[in-house]
């Protein structure tokens, strides 16, 4: 009877520490280096749509908001344009593109990457680490709230351009907007790579239009260039007090999409995003805002819609069409960002297994999450139908954006000090500067809560409850299941001491178990009820490390449990939270390091299907237990998630208390 034996390496400890650039990080850079121009164009089509369409509604919102409206005078216009310039420069160019994008997690960005970096270190005060992680989870929840408003306000603002062409189109704005959004969410399944290739040239044309139209007005009124001086912003804030402060709530709309820019980094990499930003996007936005400012000074009535009124009359219909395409692309930026954040949340244990589809054979980070896609779609439709216009939506927009900006700042400078080991005074000084800016804008947006800003906060609150409920319930369930399973080594001892001995058919059985040290429930049931233990037993534990990718050479560790050639072996398969899990493939690679008849091609796979029994035990409120159970019933099929063959997989049930 053949037996498997341990070879090469045995370990029960954690895998070697991963540093940025390990594993798939090198593969990603190689892929990105191979097509820099294509990736830059793709990034242009996916990453910058949100911030690139802000000129459609940002200045209009500043000068056209109820009784707090800023009246267009030279002082106010220069002051607002100065605020816009320095807001984009400080928040996007310096904070995100130059600094925060350096805090990637093996090429992946977004607030979940910051959370993973903080979870990966040990802080002296455990409560501080927990508080930071919870703050990050709330920031991720705010990002989802932002992601629901962006498609609604962007597409609405573009379609409303038809009213400039002819007021008779007013009744068609909402139906056309809903039709466009339906098409947008329907094409997500084709992947961000394909969408980016299609959208890249359109966005290149869009940013060229922004630059050219803005430049034409600036050339006629070059005095607007003086607004780049920060003194005009300071004068405006000083002379107009509360009105100027409220205006900040609209000025911040010029940087919507900064977090999406960071979250989408995993789709294209850091260099293409930086090249596109400094080479085209940043200059085009500044020229456009200065052009709108010059137009408002020349023609104060242009505050009704400065973007479309900046265009020659003959070009407005083509510009409406182009703007509609651009706003569809703006929506794409936050949608693809939501997919990335969702996948990272699943890998870090904040969400149950959802269906995640890879949409590219070359780019690792390009994914599609059907449940997230259609969930956002339903919320977007509700927003369009409920608010009816971009002006009304602007009153709800900004609170989630500024909240996320502030949380990103806090987490980033914690990473600077704790992970990068920079002096505490450096982290505090840098954090204080950026946090002052973020919190100023956040405070300016607080009055919006009563005028629609409650919606993204409500969505964020609900998502936060879902994420934390799953995390807490998972901890309780794991503890109870561990107690039920019992130590693996004790079980192996019992099997060896069994009299009469269990029957051992000449075949290979693979048992999946989340805990490395406990007995799979399916294995225990097979022995206790069927008195069967296969000749070759492979117990596989999948460990998701807090890095996006794990090198192939560091992925599998083998342990014979101290019994030599008795046919029972334990394999630990390490994956990053962005890696696909494929157990048969993992076994094929591991079998090269084992002796014996590990027949992966004909192996039977056993998994434990848990039935959760709700109890009155403390730990979670009853309503949260019900929520956790509802979520667990909607997790993706483990057979598909682990890549197991349907015809050779046996599911064995068990009851675990919650």
Residue 468 tokens read as: 């934390």
Alpha carbon separation from 88 to 50, 438, 584 (Å, rounded): 13, 12, 49
3-state SS assignment for residue 645 = coil
Please report, for the chain, the start and end positions of each structural domain, with discontinuous segments joined by +. 40-452, 473-657
Say if residues 32 and 364 touch (Cβ distance below 8 Å): no
Asked whether the CA dihedral 511, 513, 518, 522 is positive or negative, the reply is negative
Q: Which residues pair with 508 in a beta bridge?
A: 536
CA 316 to chain centre: 36
Q: What percent of the chain has pLDDT over 90?
A: 10
Rounded to whole angstroms, the Cα distance separating 186 from 202 reads 19
Task: Give the H or E element holding residue 545.
Answer: strand 536-545
Region 40-452: CATH code: 1.20.1740.10
List pLDDT tens digits, range 407-441: 989 999 988 888 888 898 888 998 899 999 999 98
Q: Distance between CA atoms of 542 and 574, rounded to whole angstroms? A: 6
- pLDDT above 90 for 322: no
Closest by CA to 391, choosing from 180, 152, 72, 584, is 152
Model confidence pLDDT, tens digit, residues 618-631 = 777 888 888 888 88
Residue 593 confidence (pLDDT) above 70: no
- Please tell me the predicted confidence (pLDDT) of residue 536: 79
- Helix/strand/coil for 221: coil
pLDDT score for 13:
32
Which has the minimum average pLDDT: 4-13, 36-45, 74-83? 4-13
Q: Rounded to an integer, what distance in angstroms lies between the CA atom of residue 382 and that of residue 76? A: 35
Q: How far apart are CA 54 and CA 293, in angstroms?
A: 14
| Mean pLDDT on 556-569 | 68
Is 0.75 surpassed by the pTM of this model? no
Residue 22 and residue 576 in contact, taking contact as beta carbons nearer than 8 Å: no
Torsion 194-207-51-44 (CA) sign: positive
* 70 in Cβ contact with 245 (< 8 Å): no
Most confident of the ranges 260-274, 313-327, 428-442: 428-442
* Tally of CB atoms within 10 A around 580: 13
Q: Which token pair is 369?
A: 């999450």
| Separation of alpha carbons 167 and 361, rounded Å | 48
């Amino acid at each position: 009877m053949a037996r498997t034996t341990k070879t090469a390496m045995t370990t029960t400890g954690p895998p070697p520490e991963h540093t940025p650039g390990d594993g798939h990080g090198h593969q990603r850079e190689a892929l990105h280096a191979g097509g820099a121009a294509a990736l830059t164009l793709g990034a242009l089509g996916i990453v910058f749509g949100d911030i690139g369409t802000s000129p459609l509604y940002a200045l209009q919102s500043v000068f056209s908001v109820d009784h707090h409206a800023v009246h267009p005078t030279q002082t106010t216009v220069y002051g607002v344009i100065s605020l816009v310039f320095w807001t984009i420069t400080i928040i996007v160019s310096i904070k995100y593109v130059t600094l925060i994008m350096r805090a990637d997690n093996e090429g992946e960005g977004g607030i979940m990457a910051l959370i993973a970096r903080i979870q990966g270190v040990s802080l002296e005060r455990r409560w501080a680490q927990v508080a930071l992680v919870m703050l990050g989870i709330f920031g991720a929840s705010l990002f989802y709230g932002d992601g629901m408003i962006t498609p609604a306000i962007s597409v609405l603002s573009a379609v409303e351009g038809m009213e400039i062409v002819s007021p008779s189109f007013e009744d068609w704005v909402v139906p056309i907007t809903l039709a466009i959004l339906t098409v947008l969410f329907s094409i997500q399944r084709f992947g961000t790579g394909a969408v980016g290739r299609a959208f890249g040239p359109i966005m290149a044309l869009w940013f060229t239009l922004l630059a050219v139209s803005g430049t034409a007005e600036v050339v006629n009124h070059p005095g607007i260039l003086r607004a780049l001086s920060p003194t005009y912003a300071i004068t405006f804030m000083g002379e107009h007090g509360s009105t100027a402060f409220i205006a900040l709530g609209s000025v911040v709309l010029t940087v919507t999409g900064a977090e999406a820019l960071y979250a989408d980094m995993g789709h294209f990499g850091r260099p293409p995003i930086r090249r596109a930003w400094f080479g085209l996007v940043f200059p085009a936005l500044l020229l456009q805002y200065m052009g709108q400012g010059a137009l408002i000074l020349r023609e104060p009535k242009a505050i009704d819609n400065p973007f479309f009124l900046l265009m020659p009359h003959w070009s407005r219909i083509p510009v409406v069409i182009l703007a509609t395409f651009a706003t569809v692309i703006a929506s794409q930026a936050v949608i693809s960002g939501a997919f990335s954040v969702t996948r990272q949340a699943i890998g870090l244990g904040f969400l149950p297994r959802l269906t995640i589809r890879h949409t590219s054979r070359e780019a690792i980070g390009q994914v599609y999450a059907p449940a997230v896609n259609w969930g956002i779609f339903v919320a977007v439709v509700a927003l369009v139908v409920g608010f009816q216009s971009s002006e009304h939506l602007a009153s709800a927009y900004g609170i989630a954006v500024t909240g996320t900006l502030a949380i990103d700042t806090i987490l980033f400078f914690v990473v600077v000090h704790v992970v990068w080991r920079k002096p505490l005074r450096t982290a505090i000084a840098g954090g204080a500067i950026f946090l002052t800016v973020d919190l100023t804008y956040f405070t300016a947006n607080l009055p919006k809560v009563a005028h629609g800003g409650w919606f993204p906060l409500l969505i964020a609150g609900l998502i936060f409850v879902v994420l934390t409920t799953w995390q807490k319930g998972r901890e309780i369930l794991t503890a109870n299941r561990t107690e039920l399973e019992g130590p693996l080594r004790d079980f192996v001892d019992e099997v060896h001491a069994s009299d009469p001995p269990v029957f051992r058919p000449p075949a290979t059985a693979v048992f999946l178990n989340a805990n490395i040290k406990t007995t799979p429930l399916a294995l225990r049931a097979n022995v206790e009820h069927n008195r069967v233990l296969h000749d070759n037993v492979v117990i596989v534990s999948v460990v998701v490390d807090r890095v996006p990718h794990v090198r192939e050479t560091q992925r599998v560790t083998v342990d014979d449990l101290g019994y030599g050639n008795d046919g029972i072996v334990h394999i630990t398969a390490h994956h990053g939270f962005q890696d696909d899990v494929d157990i048969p493939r993992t076994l094929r690679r591991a079998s090269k390091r084992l002796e014996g008849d590990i027949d992966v091609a004909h192996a039977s796979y056993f998994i434990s299907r848990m039935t959760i029994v709700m109890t009155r035990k403390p730990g979670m409120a009853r309503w949260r237990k019900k929520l956790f159970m509802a979520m667990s019933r909607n997790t993706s099929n483990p057979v598909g998630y682990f890549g197991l063959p349907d015809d050779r997989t046996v599911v064995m049930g068990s009851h675990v208390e919650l």
